[in-house]
């Protein structure tokens, strides 16, 4: 039985802790906050409950496997899980209204042809077909296997297949698209279809101009495996995972800020806790941002971080959220998720570069309206969470694009007004029903989770020379392992859950373990 010290109580950290405890290890988790869950938090006021982090789950099989491997109770006996249908509603600036059904390829094609014109559905379907090829090539190395110590050159190349084109000598292989935005222009040939594709990248904190074409796997995953909601909100998933850890004997200490990782003879030997003294351990699992681990928690003699260092890899943008308590019941037929597409995509991209004026028009806004009775004071009210991908807080070093001081003056309030106005112009009259609103900016994310700048990392992607890969689960220091959104295989609930499975697998099976077969 080894002593395992875990830094942080986020999704990836708890996923690792539960698996390690079942394997017979003594596991202790040290969390600087007073609660567990990382980004999976719930804001509560006046009988309303609203998620402040992810609002939907994709690839639920990751958590089904976790709960199956750590106890006899399956996931569905611990949380209420339901597939969202329609999967999403999309409102475009020109007035186009598109609802996409869940888990129905034929239904999606029909919906696209009806809303966008004949042929739109087939073009989208063909693109997802090529995304499926990308998924099949990258699924194991980018989701189910630890990142190799020496990165495979194949992961630095974009695997999205180039389409055949026609030249002077007949059919030829076209140059692969350099970015998702170029892919959208080249293959979809409709600004609304392009916006649909790019909105999936934005939702994960990626800039469509710079993210590789392999990001087309993001809509493919949603269309193939569905979008799922946990009754009680995503916080309920964190609660179930915490209870599973406790049932397996994992010890939690809250209010315990880790100030350093002890290294002895080239191996992690424990932790230093502020106002708590040293903690001895045979192995350490770090759930904090990899930039913080390599930049502050490891002693200088531990050696250089991996190349490229986590501080310079693309960590993602931040998320601005507007939480609304609404009077009146949820109207019949309301979609769980509605995406309001930007009126001026170029201005939105300028905003991502740090130009606040570009943010203040009509950005891409995701509106979640779950209508969950367990999160409402009564059936005469409703909640809505509006979220926008934005530049990180100004204190975030190495963040993507520009940064903004989200605490400056009335900046957050003005942007909240703009987001509400954008919803109104798109036909969602939420402001007249508003009882109160709560604003959450990347500065809040940074304060609560410790992520520099409040950046929200997306899933690992192949291509772009490896710029969208995350820090490896094995550190250069022996006995030290990384989990969470900044570690392989990246951000998003399913991916952070897999990071815990990978770290636990390496500890249990040895550093040469190559993933489950």
pLDDT in tens, 134-150: 999 999 999 999 988 77
Asked, for residue 159, whether it belongs to a domain, the answer is: yes
Query: Each residue of 303-347: pLDDT tens digit?
Result: 656 555 454 444 579 999 999 999 999 999 999 999 999 988 888
Model pLDDT, residue 1? 80
pLDDT beyond 80 at 421: yes
Contact 352, 208 (CB under 8 A): no
Looking at the structure, tell me whether residues 138 and 199 fall in a common domain: yes
Query: Each residue of 147-168: pLDDT tens digit?
Result: 887 766 789 999 999 776 554 5
Looking at the structure, tell me whether residues 138 and 22 fall in a common domain: no
Looking at the structure, tell me whether residues 386 and 466 fall in a common domain: no
Asked, for residue 257, whether it belongs to a domain, the answer is: yes
Asked, for residue 43, whether it belongs to a domain, the answer is: no
From 417, 438, 454, give the residue that closes a domain.
Answer: 454
- Beta-bridge mates of residue 439: 322
What's the pTM value of the predicted model, to 2 decimals? 0.93
Asked, for residue 286, whether it belongs to a domain, the answer is: yes
Helix-helix angle 191-203:105-116, to 10 degrees: 130
Structural domain for 346, as ranges: 316-454
Give the domain CATH number at 299.
3.50.50.60
Model pLDDT, residue 310? 54
Model pLDDT, residue 277? 84
Q: What is the dihedral of CA 167, 173, 178, 179, to 10 degrees?
A: 100
Structural domain total, the chain = 3
Asked, for residue 80, whether it belongs to a domain, the answer is: no
Coil, helix or strand at residue 389: strand
Asked, for residue 50, whether it belongs to a domain, the answer is: no
Model pLDDT, residue 105? 86
Looking at the structure, tell me whether residues 494 and 405 fall in a common domain: no
CA atoms 272, 274, 279, 283: torsion sign: negative
Q: Cis before residue 308, ω within 30 degrees of 0?
A: yes
Looking at the structure, tell me whether residues 285 and 212 fall in a common domain: no
Residues 77 and 327: their CA atoms lie apart, in Å, by: 33
From 454, 476, 495, give the residue that closes a domain.
Answer: 454
Instruction: Estimate to the nearest angstrom the gap between the alpha carbon of 316 and the chain centroid.
Output: 10
Looking at the structure, tell me whether residues 12 and 134 fall in a common domain: no
Least confident span in 102-106, 262-266, 326-330: 102-106
Looking at the structure, tell me whether residues 385 and 415 fall in a common domain: yes
């Amino acid at each position: 039985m080894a002593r395992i010290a875990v830094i942080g109580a986020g999704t990836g950290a708890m996923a690792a802790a539960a698996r390690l405890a079942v394997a017979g290890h003594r596991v202790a988790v040290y969390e600087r906050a007073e609660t567990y869950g990382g980004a999976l938090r719930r804001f509560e006021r006046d009988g309303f409950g609203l998620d402040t982090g992810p609002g939907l789950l994709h690839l639920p099989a990751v958590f089904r496997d976790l709960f199956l491997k750590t106890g006899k109770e399956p996931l569905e006996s611990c949380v209420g899980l339901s597939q969202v249908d329609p999967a999403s509603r999309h409102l475009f600036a020109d007035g186009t209204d598109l609802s996409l059904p869940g888990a129905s390829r034929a239904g999606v094609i029909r919906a696209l042809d009806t809303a966008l014109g004949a042929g739109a559905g087939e073009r989208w379907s063909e693109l997802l077909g090529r995304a499926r090829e990308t998924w099949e090539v990258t699924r194991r190395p980018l989701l189910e296997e630890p990142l190799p110590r020496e990165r495979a050159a194949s992961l630095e190349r974009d695997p999205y297949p180039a389409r055949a084109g026609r030249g002077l000598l007949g059919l030829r292989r076209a140059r692969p698209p350099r970015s998702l935005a170029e892919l959208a222009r080249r293959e979809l040939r409709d600004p609304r279809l392009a916006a649909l594709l790019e909105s999936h990248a934005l939702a994960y904190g990626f800039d469509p101009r710079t993210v590789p074409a392999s990001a087309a796997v993001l809509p493919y995953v949603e269309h193939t495996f569905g979008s799922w909601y946990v009754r009680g909100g995503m916080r309920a998933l964190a609660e179930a995972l915490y209870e599973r850890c406790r049932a397996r004997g994992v010890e939690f200490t809250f209010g315990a800020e880790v100030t350093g990782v002890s290294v002895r003879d080239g191996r992690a030997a424990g932790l230093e806790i502020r106002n708590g003294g040293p903690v001895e351990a045979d192995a350490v699992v770090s759930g904090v941002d990899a930039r913080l681990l390599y930049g502050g928690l490891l002693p200088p003699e531990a050696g250089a971080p991996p190349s490229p260092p986590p501080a310079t890899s693309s960590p993602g943008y931040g998320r601005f959220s507007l939480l609304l308590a609404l009077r009146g019941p949820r109207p019949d037929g309301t979609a769980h998720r509605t995406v309001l597409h930007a009126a001026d995509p170029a201005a939105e991209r300028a905003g991502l570069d740090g130009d606040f004026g570009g943010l203040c028009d009509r950005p891409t806004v995701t509106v979640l309206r779950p209508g969950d009775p367990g999160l409402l004071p009564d059936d005469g009210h409703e909640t809505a969470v509006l979220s926008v991908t934005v530049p990180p807080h100004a204190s975030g070093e190495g963040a993507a694009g520009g940064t903004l001081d989200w605490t400056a003056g009335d900046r957050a309030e003005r942007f909240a007004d703009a987001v509400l106005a954008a919803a109104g112009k798109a036909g969602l009259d939420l402001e007249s029903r508003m009882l109160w609103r709560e604003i959450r900016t990347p500065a809040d994310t940074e304060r609560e989770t410790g992520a520099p700048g409040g950046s929200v990392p997306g899933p690992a992607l192949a291509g772009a020379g490896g710029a969208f890969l995350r820090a490896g689960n094995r550190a250069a220091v022996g006995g030290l392992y990384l989990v969470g959104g900044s570690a392989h295989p990246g951000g998003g609930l399913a991916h952070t859950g897999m990071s815990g499975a990978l770290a636990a697998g390496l500890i249990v099976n040895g550093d040469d373990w190559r993933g489950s077969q």
